Structure 1
């Protein structure tokens, strides 16, 4: 018998090469409304699935194994990242214990072999099937992409404006209860945390308020300001003292490590009992460049070279004749911890919405106009897997370039508000496709 691997089973689930009537191993009827999106092995295999389990709609993740025992062999029962799993799909059942999540919930199990459309050796994931990782089962608007790509781009950019408006509203609300510098500082930390370490970065912002940090930097040389900022940020983050491995990861020599730790000992007394525990940070499968240690050091570099304060410097750069260039230089010049791609994401997701909200709050029409003009002119970034998947889902084989940050953000907005919750009937792309057919 041919050896079957988990990638084959993932393709079977992705294609739904299964009978219509399914039952879990404990006898409950199961209908797959949406099989979810393959995650490339980062956490549960499929995320965002929608299942009708014994008459109840259940949304969550699906984990696939050849053997049911793989759940425990891979340690998923100890990993909180798998607490969203609602179905364990296995090739063959196991009479042993059922899959139990870290939070104690028992996961329904589906044995796939009895429901396959043929012997698994006959399964052929050929060109007729969508590629593994595709969002949907059929493309949304390939005809529009082929004949009216400009219409699709307008829809994407309008959706990007909606996404921006939501961010501006959120920041405006935050500005009503906190000083502008604290709001901006917290948003920068949030962006530096990406999705995997936002909780930890949020905790740093809350435990080490910006005004307390700034007060310990004023009047110092740029080098001492960096050491002080690094000491306080890393200390509160729970990274001090640095291990040799962490120092190497941060490209910090022994003398610099000693200087940073000395600043934490001198200045960090009020926060020594507020240090974050290591469990806050998600470090598994984390790229070295995205390690929260390096992200905190990136912020320390920015804080070390402020002239007019965090908000003052940002508004000055927005009013520069070339604000995009000025902001890119502020974020990346002499900052080994922040690359151009992530800097662009910070400009799009933090800087522009903050400046729009702050300009509105202060009644600074010049600042608001400059921020709006910056938004209109921002090019697309390097893109990410979700943007590429959404374009593929909409356009199919037809290439429609994503050239602006507005369009890029719009694609993310459409995926979050339309694709993920399966609200196709509300999606403007679907309306455009229907109008094309009519």
Structure 2
């Protein structure tokens, strides 16, 4: 089978070809001393390579193509950037080409040099017949290699979150307290209402909440009012009427504008995840502290972090309600253990990592990693499927890494960029 160019890059980079007795198309001996640095920008594919050709050592660039004629198809014969190509590596040599200066680069053909098992393993991964490309093979990856790759994936997942957090920080003009407040609010939306919660937090700055420390009714009224849930409604129950009255005063005092209540979603959501109850929980968290970022940074122990989300001072009304004016059987209104773990995994760890990177202090980065290493792995369909394939995640650090791999490598069939894929293709 003819290989795509990115696979040839992979073969060259990891020397997955017979390296003994190499000769160019002109019959000159070739010894690859250094494959060079993989260049993902414009220009030759590998730079600063060291190649010995007929006893003479060359330091320069390597260009890789499926066919030699691709050199001309890509216009390299007119580009001075390719004059320093010391070796043209191709799958199949189908014609002589020239550099811009008129000289002919030496060409190495790989077609007969790549082992059969490398080609067959690559072909199997690319068939697309399974949930993940390496579904049949992943359990054969050595434990050490798997662990090293998952560690890299965890950092990569943190980096993705850092980008979003830094973007939010910029919009908040470097205010970490406000950034943390909004980021945490998003998490209380638990995907379905994440955007609505972010909108709510943006509409209600912490500086306003800070004026009402210890005043539960005021804090709750501000949140439910800004959520648009107290607008144009006649309530039967005393509690929402009191919230409504309090909010009307606070809204006028602070010049607030409520969001559209239609932003909140209830469909396909269990009562325990209704936005009304989640808002009550978040309001109680802010009642406990209006400086959430400082609280997180100053709290090192995992159990102490969990305590911030436990036994929240939630209004007694919600023990028998999921929505205003709708009586329900008595139920728990506190965040469950699983929900708290998800907040720590998806929010608190990310804030710690981002802050550590922002100020250049690895202490917070290590705290973020340690936090995930001390939390149980998530229990969802993807993690259960990996477990069935022989890849168990015992801690959140591992489950987060597996989620990163599934989304950014498996689903996109980027096996050539994956540590698992590397081990499987190399393995005989």
TM-score range, shorter chain: 0.5 to 0.7
Shift in Å, 1:183: 0.5
SS of the residue corresponding to residue 412 of structure 2 reads coil
- Aligned equivalent of 2:310: 332
| Partners of 2:190 and 2:263 in 1: CA distance | 14
2:293 to 311, 336, 349: 311
| Partners of 1:314 and 1:159 in 2: CA distance | 25
TM-superposition CA deviations, 1:239-270 (whole Å, max 9, x none) = 226989x99xxxxxx44434433331221236
1:435 has 2:426 as partner = yes
TM-superposition CA deviations, 1:49-68 (whole Å, max 9, x none) = xxxxxxxxxxxxxxxxxxxx
TM-superposition CA deviations, 1:3-35 (whole Å, max 9, x none) = xxxxxxxxxxxxxxxxxxxxxxxxxxxxxxxxx
User: What is the number of equivalent residue pairs in this alignment?
Assistant: 280
**Greater RCO, CA 8 A, separation 6+:** 1
| Partners of 1:135 and 1:407 in 2: CA distance | 25
- Aligned equivalent of 1:262: 245
Question: What does 1:23-422 align with in structure 2 at a 5 Å threshold?
Answer: 136=130, 140-145=134-139, 148-178=142-172, 179-214=175-210, 216-218=211-213, 221=214, 224=215, 226-240=216-230, 254-269=237-252, 274-306=257-289, 309-318=291-300, 323-334=301-312, 336-362=333-359, 366-375=363-372, 377-389=373-385, 391=386, 396=389, 398=390, 400-422=391-413
| Partners of 1:334 and 1:135 in 2: CA distance | 48
Q: RMSD of the alignment, in Å?
A: 3.1
Specify whether residues 425 and 369 from structure 1 end up closer, same or farther in structure 2 by C-alpha distance, changes over 3 A only: closer
The two structures have a TM-score, normalised by structure 2, of 0.58
Specify whether residues 242 and 404 from structure 1 end up closer, same or farther in structure 2 by C-alpha distance, changes over 3 A only: farther
Q: 8 Å contact 1:163–1:413 — kept in the other structure?
A: yes
- Aligned equivalent of 1:7: none
| Partners of 1:412 and 1:370 in 2: CA distance | 21
| Partners of 2:169 and 2:160 in 1: CA distance | 14
Shift in Å, 1:212: 2.4
Shift in Å, 1:190: 1.0
Shift in Å, 1:177: 4.0
Q: 8 Å contact 1:295–1:337 — kept in the other structure?
A: no
Shift in Å, 1:366: 4.7
SS of the residue corresponding to residue 217 of structure 2 reads helix
Using the TM superposition, name which of 197-206 and 363-372 deviates more.
363-372
**Higher alpha-carbon Rg:** 2
SS of the residue corresponding to residue 268 of structure 1 reads helix
| Partners of 1:177 and 1:430 in 2: CA distance | 39
Shift in Å, 1:135: 9.4
| Partners of 2:132 and 2:265 in 1: CA distance | 35
- Aligned equivalent of 2:14: none
| Partners of 2:225 and 2:366 in 1: CA distance | 39
| Partners of 2:232 and 2:305 in 1: CA distance | 31
SS of the residue corresponding to residue 327 of structure 1 reads helix
Shift in Å, 1:367: 4.3
The two structures have a TM-score, normalised by structure 1, of 0.56
Q: 8 Å contact 1:242–1:257 — kept in the other structure?
A: no
Specify whether residues 360 and 424 from structure 1 end up closer, same or farther in structure 2 by C-alpha distance, changes over 3 A only: closer
Shift in Å, 1:429: 2.4
SS of the residue corresponding to residue 297 of structure 1 reads helix
TM-superposition CA deviations, 1:208-254 (whole Å, max 9, x none) = 2222222x323xx3xx2x3222211111112226989x99xxxxxx4
Specify whether residues 384 and 416 from structure 1 end up closer, same or farther in structure 2 by C-alpha distance, changes over 3 A only: same
Q: 8 Å contact 1:145–1:152 — kept in the other structure?
A: no
Q: 8 Å contact 2:196–2:264 — kept in the other structure?
A: yes
Specify whether residues 147 and 186 from structure 1 end up closer, same or farther in structure 2 by C-alpha distance, changes over 3 A only: closer
| Partners of 2:282 and 2:207 in 1: CA distance | 15
Shift in Å, 1:363: 5.4
